[in-house]
Amino acid sequence: MNGAWGVLVFLPFIVWYAYRARRAIKTGVFDSWSGPVDRASQPSIFWSYLVRQVLLSLLLMATAVSLFLKPAATMRVWVFAGFVVIYVTVSLFPAFRHRPRSNPPLERSGSAGRSAPER
Q: Provide the pLDDT for residue 97.
A: 65
Is residue 35 a part of any domain in this protein? yes
Q: Provide the pLDDT for residue 26.
A: 92
Q: Provide the pLDDT for residue 111.
A: 54
Domain that holds residue 11: 2-97
pLDDT tens across 18-45, in order? 898 899 999 999 888 888 888 888 888 8
Is residue 119 a part of any domain in this protein? no
Q: CB within 8 A of 11, min separation 6: which ones?
A: 64
Is residue 84 a part of any domain in this protein? yes
Q: Provide the pLDDT for residue 104.
A: 59
Q: Provide the pLDDT for residue 91.
A: 73
Query: What pTM value is reported for the model?
Result: 0.62
Is residue 78 a part of any domain in this protein? yes
> Could you tell me the CA-to-CA distances from 47 to 42, 43, 52, 81, 89 in Å, in that order?
9, 6, 8, 23, 14
pLDDT band with cut points at 50, 70 and 90 for residue 114 = low
**Where is pLDDT greater, at 88 or 1?**
88
Strand intervals (E) in the chain: 29-32, 35-38
Q: How many domains does the chain have?
A: 1
**HSE of 119 in the Cβ direction (CA atoms, 13 Å)?**
1
pLDDT tens across 48-107, in order? 888 888 888 888 887 787 777 777 777 777 877 887 887 787 777 766 666 666 655 555
Burial of 12 (0-12, 13-18, 19+ CB in 10 A): exposed
Residue 113 has pLDDT above 60, yes or no: no
Is residue 11 a part of any domain in this protein? yes
Cα distance between the two ends of the chain: 91
User: How far apart are the C-alpha atoms of 99 and 113, rounded to whole Å?
Assistant: 31
